Amino acid sequence: MQVIVIGGGPAGMMAAIKSAENGNEVTLLEKMNSLRKKTVNNRKRKM
């Protein structure tokens, strides 16, 4: 099955990982250039 995950935040990344582990072909769409930066920036804002 082909799965598209929209959003590369923590929940989107986890959804993509779990879906891929279940044998699906996953496409992860994110508007920013880097997934890691988005997660780190969100953590900084919450502190």
Per-residue pLDDT tens listing for the chain (47 residues) = 999 999 988 899 999 999 999 999 999 999 877 776 655 555 555 54
Range of the domain at 41: 2-46
CA torsion through residues 15, 20, 22, 24, sign: positive
Q: How many CB atoms lie within 10 A of CB 8?
A: 20
